[in-house]
Amino acid sequence: MRVIICENYEEMSKQAAKLVISQVTLKPESILGLATGSTPIGMYDKLIEANKAGEVDFSKVTTFNLDEYYPLSADNDQSYHYFMNEHLFSKTNIPFERTHVPDGEAANPEKECEEYDKKIEAAGGIDLQILGIGQNGHIGFNEPDKNLIAGTHLTELTDSTIEANSRFFEKKEDVPTKALTMGIASILKSKKIIIMANGAAKHEVVSALMTPDITTDIPATMLKIHSDVVVICDKEAFYGKQN
Ligand code: PGA
């Protein structure tokens, strides 16, 4: 696991965008794994700028997002479909028909999950996966538990995740309690992984990534198994609150 410690959120966003741009420049038909949440928004802004400036061409990429609330319709402004359109897809030349987000309205969620993994495999697997990290150590919506699940699956959100994500909803009761998420193996099959974290609230979990321990209580520690992971974080996430 390599670590890049950045001065601040802006720097972290720039560094992560640089790696995505390099990936797409080296392999224009890259399969990108994408994440939602507040962490990658700055990076998406940089990718939009670079795409507009003609510094990167996304016309051949395919994307797979990590997760989606369940049940929630794609046009709900809290859905991850909506988020991705708003923060990236509609503002770049990524072909919309080659973007994938799990269907939060699937009548048969188990089948949707199985097909989602098959689609990733059929596309040739994810070349570069972008991850945020929950304060509780989740990646995607793989929440801390006794057992983790390998493939894409329907999961219950923990109270701490519902609490953390309630800031995006009018009230906590509006946060869906379930989600469809890529599993730990779906994520670990990616050829390269970038995990981003900013702010002092992520310090404890980033510190857990720096120890040798792997535990299902902190799902992100599973990334230590992977041979090509880069942590891009700001100083507060790495060192704790700065004065
Ligand atoms: P955040 O969420 O980027 O909004 O902090 C990260 C996550 O929960 O994975």
Q: What is the number of the ligand 1 atom nearest to the C-alpha of 196?
A: 3
Among candidate residues 112, 127, 143, 234, the one labeled active-site is 143
Q: Quote the pLDDT of residue 203.
A: 98
Q: Quote the pLDDT of residue 242.
A: 77
Instruction: Dig out the tokens for 128 from the structure.
Output: 């570069």
Q: What is the number of the ligand 1 atom nearest to the C-alpha of 140?
A: 9
Span from the CA of 134 to the centroid of ligand 1 (angstroms): 5
Span from the CA of 113 to the centroid of ligand 1 (angstroms): 22
Domain 2-177+189-232 in CATH 3.40.50.1360: yes
Q: Quote the pLDDT of residue 117.
A: 97
Q: Quote the pLDDT of residue 210.
A: 98
How many residues make up the chain in this entry? 243
Among candidate residues 81, 87, 100, 138, the one labeled active-site is 138
What are the φ/ψ torsions at residue 197 (nearest 5 degrees)?
-155, 140
Average confidence (pLDDT) per 10 residues, the chain, 243 residues:
98 98 98 98 98 98 98 95 98 98 97 98 98 97 97 95 91 94 98 98 98 98 98 98 80
Burial (CB count <10 Å: 0-12, 13-18, 19+), residue 111? exposed
- Dihedral sign from CA coordinates of 44, 45, 46, 49: positive
Span from the CA of 24 to the centroid of ligand 1 (angstroms): 24
Q: Quote the pLDDT of residue 67.
A: 98
Q: What is the number of the ligand 1 atom nearest to the C-alpha of 199?
A: 5
pTM listed for this prediction: 0.97
How many Å is the Cα radius of gyration of the chain? 17
Q: Quote the pLDDT of residue 133.
A: 98
Q: Quote the pLDDT of residue 240.
A: 97
Q: Quote the pLDDT of residue 177.
A: 95
Show me where the domains of the chain are located: 2-177+189-232
Amino acid at 53: A
